[in-house]
Amino acid sequence: MKKIVFPFSALLLVVALAGRPAWSQEADASITGMSRAFNPAISLNGLFYGMGASSNGPSADGFEPGIHIQEIELAISSNVDQNLRADATLTSDGEGVSIESAYLTTLKMPFRLQAQIGKFQVPFGLDNTYHTHSSPFVERPLINDALFGGEAWSDIGVSVSWLAPLPWYLTVTAGGFDGAGDGLFQSDRNGDYAGFGRIENLFDLGDSATFRVGGSYAWGPTLLNSDTTAIPSEYVIDQLWGADVQLKVRPPKYLRTRGLVLQAEYLEQRYQRDDGSLDERRPGYYVLALGQVSQFWWLQARYDWMQTPSEFGYPTPTAIPEEQTDQRVSCAVALVPNHFEAYKLEYSAIDRGGVMEYRTFFQINYSIGSHPAHAY
Protein backbone atom coordinates (compact mmCIF):
# COMPACT_ATOMS: atom_id res chain seq x y z
CA MET A 1 0.00 0.00 0.00
CA LYS A 2 1.40 3.35 -1.02
CA LYS A 3 2.00 5.73 1.86
CA ILE A 4 0.46 9.19 1.57
CA VAL A 5 2.87 11.90 2.65
CA PHE A 6 1.24 14.97 4.21
CA PRO A 7 3.73 17.83 4.48
CA PHE A 8 4.11 19.31 7.95
CA SER A 9 3.89 22.84 6.54
CA ALA A 10 0.48 22.03 5.05
CA LEU A 11 -0.68 20.79 8.44
CA LEU A 12 0.37 24.03 10.07
CA LEU A 13 -1.53 25.97 7.41
CA VAL A 14 -4.72 23.95 8.04
CA VAL A 15 -4.45 24.52 11.79
CA ALA A 16 -3.85 28.24 11.31
CA LEU A 17 -6.84 28.63 9.01
CA ALA A 18 -9.09 26.67 11.32
CA GLY A 19 -8.10 28.83 14.26
CA ARG A 20 -8.76 32.17 12.61
CA PRO A 21 -11.60 34.21 14.17
CA ALA A 22 -14.88 34.52 12.27
CA TRP A 23 -14.44 38.19 11.32
CA SER A 24 -11.02 37.42 9.85
CA GLN A 25 -12.37 34.54 7.78
CA GLU A 26 -14.72 36.95 6.03
CA ALA A 27 -11.94 39.36 5.20
CA ASP A 28 -10.23 39.59 1.84
CA ALA A 29 -7.45 37.00 1.56
CA SER A 30 -4.54 36.45 -0.78
CA ILE A 31 -3.52 33.11 -2.31
CA THR A 32 -1.31 32.53 0.73
CA GLY A 33 -4.41 32.39 2.94
CA MET A 34 -3.26 35.42 4.93
CA SER A 35 -5.75 38.26 5.46
CA ARG A 36 -5.21 41.54 3.63
CA ALA A 37 -7.95 43.30 5.61
CA PHE A 38 -5.47 45.43 7.56
CA ASN A 39 -3.08 46.25 4.73
CA PRO A 40 -3.73 49.88 3.80
CA ALA A 41 -5.36 50.78 0.50
CA ILE A 42 -3.12 53.44 -1.07
CA SER A 43 -4.04 55.62 -4.01
CA LEU A 44 -2.68 58.67 -5.78
CA ASN A 45 -4.84 61.15 -7.63
CA GLY A 46 -3.53 63.86 -9.95
CA LEU A 47 -5.40 66.93 -11.17
CA PHE A 48 -3.95 69.24 -13.81
CA TYR A 49 -5.64 72.14 -15.59
CA GLY A 50 -5.02 74.58 -18.36
CA MET A 51 -6.87 77.88 -18.26
CA GLY A 52 -7.48 80.75 -20.63
CA ALA A 53 -9.26 83.86 -19.35
CA SER A 54 -10.31 87.32 -20.48
CA SER A 55 -8.16 88.76 -17.65
CA ASN A 56 -4.50 87.81 -17.36
CA GLY A 57 -3.86 88.32 -13.65
CA PRO A 58 -4.40 85.81 -10.84
CA SER A 59 -8.00 85.58 -9.62
CA ALA A 60 -9.38 85.72 -6.12
CA ASP A 61 -10.19 81.98 -6.17
CA GLY A 62 -6.61 80.98 -6.99
CA PHE A 63 -6.97 80.00 -10.66
CA GLU A 64 -4.44 81.50 -13.06
CA PRO A 65 -4.05 81.42 -16.85
CA GLY A 66 -1.61 78.79 -18.09
CA ILE A 67 -1.01 75.14 -17.23
CA HIS A 68 -0.87 74.23 -13.54
CA ILE A 69 -1.09 71.47 -10.97
CA GLN A 70 -4.49 71.78 -9.37
CA GLU A 71 -3.96 69.07 -6.77
CA ILE A 72 -1.98 65.92 -6.07
CA GLU A 73 -3.72 63.73 -3.49
CA LEU A 74 -2.33 60.72 -1.64
CA ALA A 75 -5.02 58.73 0.18
CA ILE A 76 -4.38 55.92 2.68
CA SER A 77 -7.14 53.82 4.22
CA SER A 78 -7.11 50.70 6.36
CA ASN A 79 -8.87 48.88 9.18
CA VAL A 80 -7.04 49.33 12.48
CA ASP A 81 -8.93 46.31 13.81
CA GLN A 82 -12.49 45.01 13.59
CA ASN A 83 -13.74 48.11 15.45
CA LEU A 84 -11.93 51.02 13.78
CA ARG A 85 -10.98 52.24 10.31
CA ALA A 86 -8.27 54.85 9.73
CA ASP A 87 -8.14 57.28 6.79
CA ALA A 88 -5.57 59.91 5.90
CA THR A 89 -5.23 62.21 2.89
CA LEU A 90 -2.22 64.34 1.99
CA THR A 91 -2.58 66.99 -0.70
CA SER A 92 -0.27 69.31 -2.59
CA ASP A 93 -0.77 72.09 -5.11
CA GLY A 94 2.82 71.72 -6.30
CA GLU A 95 4.26 74.15 -3.75
CA GLY A 96 3.64 72.53 -0.39
CA VAL A 97 2.08 69.49 1.29
CA SER A 98 -0.85 69.68 3.71
CA ILE A 99 -2.92 67.21 5.69
CA GLU A 100 -6.40 67.36 4.24
CA SER A 101 -7.75 64.69 6.58
CA ALA A 102 -6.58 62.14 9.16
CA TYR A 103 -9.30 60.48 11.21
CA LEU A 104 -10.71 57.32 12.75
CA THR A 105 -14.17 55.89 12.03
CA THR A 106 -15.93 53.43 14.31
CA LEU A 107 -17.28 50.25 12.71
CA LYS A 108 -19.23 48.54 15.49
CA MET A 109 -20.94 51.09 17.72
CA PRO A 110 -24.30 50.08 19.22
CA PHE A 111 -27.69 51.73 18.64
CA ARG A 112 -26.98 52.38 14.93
CA LEU A 113 -24.35 54.99 15.78
CA GLN A 114 -21.07 55.81 14.06
CA ALA A 115 -18.41 58.25 15.19
CA GLN A 116 -15.45 60.02 13.61
CA ILE A 117 -12.55 61.68 15.39
CA GLY A 118 -9.61 63.58 13.92
CA LYS A 119 -9.45 65.97 11.00
CA PHE A 120 -12.12 65.26 8.40
CA GLN A 121 -14.41 66.90 5.86
CA VAL A 122 -17.47 68.28 7.58
CA PRO A 123 -20.65 66.86 5.99
CA PHE A 124 -22.19 70.31 5.59
CA GLY A 125 -24.40 70.17 2.51
CA LEU A 126 -23.51 68.28 -0.66
CA ASP A 127 -20.72 70.08 -2.50
CA ASN A 128 -18.62 70.32 0.65
CA THR A 129 -18.44 66.52 0.84
CA TYR A 130 -16.70 66.27 -2.55
CA HIS A 131 -12.96 65.90 -2.74
CA THR A 132 -11.41 68.18 -5.33
CA HIS A 133 -10.93 65.34 -7.81
CA SER A 134 -14.56 64.21 -7.42
CA SER A 135 -16.07 67.69 -7.83
CA PRO A 136 -18.23 67.80 -10.98
CA PHE A 137 -16.80 71.19 -12.05
CA VAL A 138 -13.30 72.67 -12.00
CA GLU A 139 -14.50 75.69 -10.02
CA ARG A 140 -16.40 75.34 -6.76
CA PRO A 141 -19.78 77.14 -6.49
CA LEU A 142 -19.41 80.83 -5.64
CA ILE A 143 -20.95 80.60 -2.18
CA ASN A 144 -18.96 77.48 -1.28
CA ASP A 145 -15.74 79.10 -2.44
CA ALA A 146 -16.52 82.23 -0.38
CA LEU A 147 -17.26 80.20 2.77
CA PHE A 148 -14.85 77.28 2.56
CA GLY A 149 -12.24 78.31 -0.02
CA GLY A 150 -11.20 76.23 -3.01
CA GLU A 151 -11.04 73.15 -0.79
CA ALA A 152 -13.87 71.64 1.21
CA TRP A 153 -14.32 72.62 4.87
CA SER A 154 -12.34 70.22 7.03
CA ASP A 155 -11.50 70.67 10.70
CA ILE A 156 -10.27 68.84 13.79
CA GLY A 157 -13.06 67.50 15.95
CA VAL A 158 -15.54 64.75 16.71
CA SER A 159 -18.82 63.87 15.03
CA VAL A 160 -21.48 61.24 15.76
CA SER A 161 -24.14 60.10 13.29
CA TRP A 162 -27.27 58.05 13.90
CA LEU A 163 -29.08 55.98 11.29
CA ALA A 164 -32.79 55.94 12.09
CA PRO A 165 -34.64 52.59 11.94
CA LEU A 166 -37.09 53.79 9.27
CA PRO A 167 -38.20 52.48 5.86
CA TRP A 168 -36.08 55.18 4.21
CA TYR A 169 -32.50 56.30 4.83
CA LEU A 170 -32.45 59.04 7.50
CA THR A 171 -29.30 60.12 9.31
CA VAL A 172 -28.76 62.72 11.99
CA THR A 173 -25.20 63.98 12.51
CA ALA A 174 -23.78 66.33 15.14
CA GLY A 175 -20.21 67.35 15.88
CA GLY A 176 -17.87 69.79 17.56
CA PHE A 177 -14.61 71.35 16.35
CA ASP A 178 -11.74 73.46 17.53
CA GLY A 179 -12.94 77.05 17.11
CA ALA A 180 -9.48 78.47 17.68
CA GLY A 181 -7.95 77.14 14.48
CA ASP A 182 -7.43 78.43 10.96
CA GLY A 183 -10.62 77.00 9.54
CA LEU A 184 -14.01 78.51 8.89
CA PHE A 185 -14.46 79.72 12.47
CA GLN A 186 -11.36 81.64 13.51
CA SER A 187 -10.75 82.63 17.10
CA ASP A 188 -7.49 83.18 18.95
CA ARG A 189 -9.00 82.38 22.33
CA ASN A 190 -8.26 78.97 23.82
CA GLY A 191 -11.40 77.09 24.75
CA ASP A 192 -13.52 78.39 21.88
CA TYR A 193 -15.36 75.66 20.03
CA ALA A 194 -17.56 75.39 16.94
CA GLY A 195 -20.37 72.96 16.28
CA PHE A 196 -22.53 71.68 13.47
CA GLY A 197 -25.56 69.52 12.85
CA ARG A 198 -27.11 67.89 9.80
CA ILE A 199 -30.19 65.85 9.00
CA GLU A 200 -30.45 63.98 5.69
CA ASN A 201 -33.15 61.89 4.05
CA LEU A 202 -32.69 59.56 1.07
CA PHE A 203 -35.70 57.99 -0.64
CA ASP A 204 -35.87 55.27 -3.29
CA LEU A 205 -38.14 56.24 -6.17
CA GLY A 206 -38.55 52.85 -7.76
CA ASP A 207 -35.65 50.90 -9.26
CA SER A 208 -34.09 53.76 -11.21
CA ALA A 209 -34.15 56.92 -9.06
CA THR A 210 -33.31 58.27 -5.62
CA PHE A 211 -34.24 61.59 -4.03
CA ARG A 212 -32.17 63.24 -1.29
CA VAL A 213 -33.09 66.24 0.86
CA GLY A 214 -31.07 67.62 3.74
CA GLY A 215 -30.45 70.56 6.02
CA SER A 216 -27.29 71.75 7.82
CA TYR A 217 -26.42 74.28 10.51
CA ALA A 218 -23.08 75.37 11.99
CA TRP A 219 -22.03 78.03 14.44
CA GLY A 220 -18.89 79.27 16.16
CA PRO A 221 -16.94 82.31 17.35
CA THR A 222 -15.08 84.43 14.81
CA LEU A 223 -12.65 87.29 15.38
CA LEU A 224 -13.26 90.19 13.00
CA ASN A 225 -9.89 91.86 12.69
CA SER A 226 -9.99 95.61 12.12
CA ASP A 227 -7.51 97.28 9.77
CA THR A 228 -7.73 100.58 11.60
CA THR A 229 -6.96 101.65 15.17
CA ALA A 230 -10.14 103.73 15.26
CA ILE A 231 -12.32 100.60 15.22
CA PRO A 232 -11.39 97.74 17.57
CA SER A 233 -11.42 94.11 16.55
CA GLU A 234 -14.26 92.12 18.00
CA TYR A 235 -15.64 88.61 18.46
CA VAL A 236 -18.97 87.74 16.86
CA ILE A 237 -20.99 84.57 16.34
CA ASP A 238 -20.62 83.20 12.84
CA GLN A 239 -23.55 81.03 11.73
CA LEU A 240 -24.09 78.95 8.58
CA TRP A 241 -27.41 77.67 7.29
CA GLY A 242 -27.85 75.23 4.45
CA ALA A 243 -30.51 73.28 2.56
CA ASP A 244 -29.99 70.90 -0.35
CA VAL A 245 -31.91 68.61 -2.69
CA GLN A 246 -30.69 66.02 -5.19
CA LEU A 247 -32.34 63.70 -7.70
CA LYS A 248 -30.38 60.82 -9.26
CA VAL A 249 -31.76 58.75 -12.13
CA ARG A 250 -30.06 55.61 -13.45
CA PRO A 251 -32.35 53.34 -15.53
CA PRO A 252 -31.41 49.67 -14.96
CA LYS A 253 -31.77 48.97 -18.68
CA TYR A 254 -29.13 51.62 -19.46
CA LEU A 255 -26.99 51.21 -16.36
CA ARG A 256 -23.68 52.04 -18.07
CA THR A 257 -24.81 54.51 -20.72
CA ARG A 258 -27.47 56.83 -19.25
CA GLY A 259 -27.72 58.84 -16.07
CA LEU A 260 -29.03 62.13 -14.72
CA VAL A 261 -28.21 64.18 -11.62
CA LEU A 262 -30.20 67.29 -10.68
CA GLN A 263 -28.92 69.13 -7.61
CA ALA A 264 -29.50 72.45 -5.83
CA GLU A 265 -28.07 73.91 -2.64
CA TYR A 266 -28.70 77.10 -0.67
CA LEU A 267 -26.17 78.42 1.88
CA GLU A 268 -26.26 81.50 4.07
CA GLN A 269 -23.61 82.98 6.35
CA ARG A 270 -24.62 85.29 9.18
CA TYR A 271 -22.55 87.45 11.52
CA GLN A 272 -24.30 88.47 14.74
CA ARG A 273 -23.43 90.26 17.98
CA ASP A 274 -24.98 89.10 21.23
CA ASP A 275 -26.73 92.46 21.65
CA GLY A 276 -28.18 92.33 18.13
CA SER A 277 -26.42 95.50 16.95
CA LEU A 278 -24.74 93.57 14.13
CA ASP A 279 -26.78 91.22 11.97
CA GLU A 280 -25.38 90.70 8.48
CA ARG A 281 -26.21 87.93 6.01
CA ARG A 282 -24.47 86.62 2.89
CA PRO A 283 -26.74 84.24 0.94
CA GLY A 284 -25.93 82.16 -2.11
CA TYR A 285 -27.08 79.12 -4.06
CA TYR A 286 -26.36 76.98 -7.09
CA VAL A 287 -28.33 74.63 -9.32
CA LEU A 288 -26.71 72.03 -11.56
CA ALA A 289 -27.53 69.27 -14.01
CA LEU A 290 -25.26 66.37 -15.00
CA GLY A 291 -26.33 64.11 -17.83
CA GLN A 292 -24.62 60.96 -19.05
CA VAL A 293 -25.38 60.71 -22.76
CA SER A 294 -23.28 57.64 -23.63
CA GLN A 295 -20.96 55.17 -21.96
CA PHE A 296 -18.09 57.66 -21.75
CA TRP A 297 -19.56 61.17 -22.23
CA TRP A 298 -21.24 63.58 -19.81
CA LEU A 299 -22.82 67.00 -20.43
CA GLN A 300 -22.92 69.38 -17.45
CA ALA A 301 -24.31 72.83 -16.58
CA ARG A 302 -24.47 74.96 -13.42
CA TYR A 303 -25.74 78.37 -12.37
CA ASP A 304 -24.33 80.16 -9.29
CA TRP A 305 -25.60 83.21 -7.42
CA MET A 306 -24.22 84.98 -4.34
CA GLN A 307 -24.94 88.30 -2.67
CA THR A 308 -22.60 90.14 -0.32
CA PRO A 309 -24.09 93.10 1.60
CA SER A 310 -22.21 96.35 2.07
CA GLU A 311 -19.50 96.23 4.73
CA PHE A 312 -20.09 92.52 5.26
CA GLY A 313 -17.85 91.30 8.05
CA TYR A 314 -17.11 94.89 9.10
CA PRO A 315 -14.56 95.88 10.35
CA THR A 316 -12.51 93.41 8.30
CA PRO A 317 -10.26 94.70 5.51
CA THR A 318 -12.37 92.76 2.98
CA ALA A 319 -15.48 94.84 3.55
CA ILE A 320 -16.95 96.15 0.29
CA PRO A 321 -18.38 99.68 -0.05
CA GLU A 322 -21.78 98.58 -1.37
CA GLU A 323 -23.90 95.53 -1.92
CA GLN A 324 -22.50 93.23 -4.59
CA THR A 325 -24.19 90.42 -6.48
CA ASP A 326 -22.08 87.77 -8.22
CA GLN A 327 -23.42 85.36 -10.83
CA ARG A 328 -21.84 82.64 -12.95
CA VAL A 329 -22.90 80.24 -15.67
CA SER A 330 -20.73 77.16 -16.28
CA CYS A 331 -20.97 74.48 -18.98
CA ALA A 332 -18.77 71.41 -19.36
CA VAL A 333 -18.22 68.31 -21.46
CA ALA A 334 -16.54 65.39 -19.70
CA LEU A 335 -14.97 62.26 -21.16
CA VAL A 336 -14.82 59.52 -18.52
CA PRO A 337 -13.42 56.27 -20.00
CA ASN A 338 -13.34 54.56 -16.58
CA HIS A 339 -13.10 55.21 -12.84
CA PHE A 340 -9.39 56.01 -13.08
CA GLU A 341 -9.29 58.84 -15.62
CA ALA A 342 -11.39 61.76 -16.81
CA TYR A 343 -10.97 64.70 -19.18
CA LYS A 344 -13.06 67.84 -18.88
CA LEU A 345 -13.57 70.92 -21.06
CA GLU A 346 -15.32 73.70 -19.13
CA TYR A 347 -16.42 77.24 -19.96
CA SER A 348 -17.69 79.81 -17.47
CA ALA A 349 -18.90 83.40 -17.60
CA ILE A 350 -18.87 85.25 -14.29
CA ASP A 351 -20.35 88.62 -13.37
CA ARG A 352 -18.72 90.04 -10.25
CA GLY A 353 -20.76 93.12 -9.39
CA GLY A 354 -20.99 94.19 -13.03
CA VAL A 355 -17.44 93.19 -14.02
CA MET A 356 -17.47 90.30 -16.50
CA GLU A 357 -14.84 87.59 -16.84
CA TYR A 358 -14.76 84.60 -19.18
CA ARG A 359 -12.78 81.42 -18.55
CA THR A 360 -12.02 78.22 -20.43
CA PHE A 361 -10.58 75.19 -18.62
CA PHE A 362 -9.19 71.87 -19.73
CA GLN A 363 -8.72 69.45 -16.83
CA ILE A 364 -7.00 66.05 -16.66
CA ASN A 365 -7.94 63.80 -13.73
CA TYR A 366 -6.32 60.42 -13.07
CA SER A 367 -6.10 57.93 -10.21
CA ILE A 368 -3.85 54.98 -9.50
CA GLY A 369 -4.00 52.47 -6.70
CA SER A 370 -6.86 51.14 -4.60
CA HIS A 371 -9.04 54.16 -3.98
CA PRO A 372 -11.83 53.81 -1.38
CA ALA A 373 -15.35 54.24 -2.72
CA HIS A 374 -16.91 57.67 -2.44
CA ALA A 375 -20.15 58.21 -0.56
CA TYR A 376 -23.27 57.84 -2.67
- Look at residue 250 and tell me if it is in a domain: yes
DSSP string, 57-102: SPPTTS--SEEEEEEEEEEEEEESSSSEEEEEEEEE-SS-EEEEEE
Contacts 24+ apart (CB under 8 A), 355-362: 356/54, 357/53, 357/54, 357/55, 357/59, 358/53, 358/54, 359/51, 359/52, 359/53, 359/54, 359/63, 359/139, 360/51, 360/52, 360/53, 361/49, 361/50, 361/51, 361/63, 361/138, 361/139, 362/49, 362/50
Contacts of 40 (CB under 8 A, 6+ apart): 76, 77, 78
- Look at residue 159 and tell me if it is in a domain: yes
- Are 136 and 114 in contact, with CB atoms under 8 Å apart? no
- Look at residue 3 and tell me if it is in a domain: no
Question: Does the pTM of the predicted model rise above 0.85?
Answer: no
- What is the reported pLDDT for 92? 93
Domain count, the chain: 1
CATH number of domain containing 189: 2.40.160.10
- What is the reported pLDDT for 227? 58
- What is the reported pLDDT for 334? 97
- Look at residue 207 and tell me if it is in a domain: yes
- Digitized pLDDT (tens) for each residue of the chain, 376 residues in all: 434 343 433 433 333 333 333 333 334 444 444 455 667 899 999 999 999 998 876 666 788 899 999 999 999 999 999 999 999 999 998 888 999 999 999 999 999 999 999 999 999 999 999 989 899 999 999 999 988 887 888 889 999 999 999 999 999 999 998 876 666 777 777 777 889 999 999 999 999 999 999 999 999 888 776 655 555 567 778 899 999 999 999 999 999 999 999 999 999 998 877 666 667 889 999 999 999 999 999 999 999 999 987 666 654 445 555 678 999 999 999 999 998 999 999 999 999 888 899 999 999 999 998 876 777 7
166 CB-contact burial (10 Å; exposed 0-12 / middle 13-18 / buried 19+)? exposed
Domain enclosing residue 279, as ranges: 54-369
- For the four alpha carbons of 119, 125, 130 and 135, in that order, the dihedral sign comes to negative
- What is the reported pLDDT for 321? 57
- What is the reported pLDDT for 29? 45
